[in-house]
Amino acid sequence: MRWTLGVVGGLLVAAVVGILIYSQVGVMAAEPDPLAAVRADDRIVISDDSAAIVMAPAPGASAPATGRVGLVFIPGAKVDPWAYASILSGLVTDDGMTVLITKPWLNLAFFDLRPLSAFTDLAPDVSRWLVGGHSLGGVKACQLASDADGLVLFASYCANDLSGSDLPVLSLAGSEDGLSTPQKIADARHLLPSDAVMVEIPGASHPSFGDYGAQPGDGTPTATDAQVEAVVVQQVGELAGVLG
C-alpha cells in the first residue's frame, strides 16, 4: 500500500511540476513598439494590478454612452497580456470604455478559477460589463458569460451551450486563421444565441488579434493591424452602445 501511494504521489508531483514548467516556457511576449505607443498615449490611464491590466479613459476625456460599459478581456494561452493592449486601446480612446486585460493563472485561462467579479471590482464606476477573450481565453469567457451583460469572442468559440440565453454575443474571426479556423467557428455556431453577430475579418489571422508575432500552424495574414483594430473598435463599440 505504501509503495502504491508513493507511486501515485510521485506521479501527481511530476504532473504538477510538468504543468508549471509548461506554463512558463514559450510564453509569447508582447511586441515592444505597439505597446510603447499605448503607454505613451495620454488619453489612456494604465494601472497594472496583480489580477489585470486596467486601461481607462484619462480624466476629462469625452465619455460617450459606451463609457458606462467595460470589457474584461481574457488572453489566449501562453500569450503575454500586454500583447493585447494595442488592439484594445481604441475601445478606450474612441469609445470611452474601460478595458481590463486579465492575467490568467499559469498563463492559461483554463486553470484560472476566479469569478468575473475578481476583475470587475477593479473598476467600480463601470456599470455594465462585456466579457471576452482570444482563442482559449474566449472559451473561458464563455464560461463566465452568465455573469456578464454581453460576450465578445476574438478568434474563438464556446465549448458550453449559450444558445438558450438572451445574451448579446459578438464573434470576431479571421478569414486566414489556421487555428480557430472559420470552419471550427461555424461548427460551434449552434452553441451561441440565434441572434449572435458573426463577423469574419478578411485577411486576419489568429495573432491578428494581438501583437505577439506569428504562431505555428496559422495562416498568412493580409490585413494590417490598423485594419483589424478598426473592425474591433467599430463592432465592440456598437455592442457596447446597445448596452450603454
| Residue 4, Cβ density class (10 Å: 0-12 exposed, 13-18 middle, ≥19 buried) | exposed
pLDDT computed for residue 31 by the predictor: 97
Residue 18 pLDDT class (50, 70, 90 cuts): very low
Residue 16 pLDDT class (50, 70, 90 cuts): very low
Cα 170 from Cα 74, distance rounded (Å) = 15
pLDDT at 1 over 80: no
Look up residue 39 and give its amino acid.
R
pLDDT computed for residue 8 by the predictor: 46
Give me the residue spans of the domains in the chain. 29-243
Phi, psi of 40 (to 5 degrees): -85, -5
pLDDT at 3 over 80: no
pLDDT, one tens digit per residue, over 104-150 is 999 899 889 999 999 999 999 999 999 999 999 999 999 999 999 99
pLDDT at 100 over 70: yes
- pLDDT (mean) for 77-103: 97
Look up residue 129 and give its amino acid.
W
How big is the chain, counted in residues? Answer: 244
Pick the CATH number of 29-243 from 3.40.710.10, 3.40.50.1820, 3.10.129.10, 2.102.10.10: 3.40.50.1820
* C-beta atoms surrounding 144 within 10 Å: 22
Name the grid cell of 107. 498563463
pLDDT computed for residue 143 by the predictor: 98
pLDDT, one tens digit per residue, over 169-205 is 999 999 999 999 999 999 999 999 999 999 999 999 9
pLDDT, one tens digit per residue, over 148-167 is 999 999 999 999 999 999 99
**Buried (b) or exposed (e) across 24-56, using 16+ Cβ within 10 A?**
eeeebebbeebbeebeebeebebeeeeebbbbb
pLDDT at 227 over 80: yes
pLDDT computed for residue 62 by the predictor: 58
Whether residue 162 contacts residue 142, with contact meaning beta carbons closer than 8 Å, is answered with yes
Whether residue 109 contacts residue 136, with contact meaning beta carbons closer than 8 Å, is answered with yes
Provide the mean pLDDT of the chain. 90
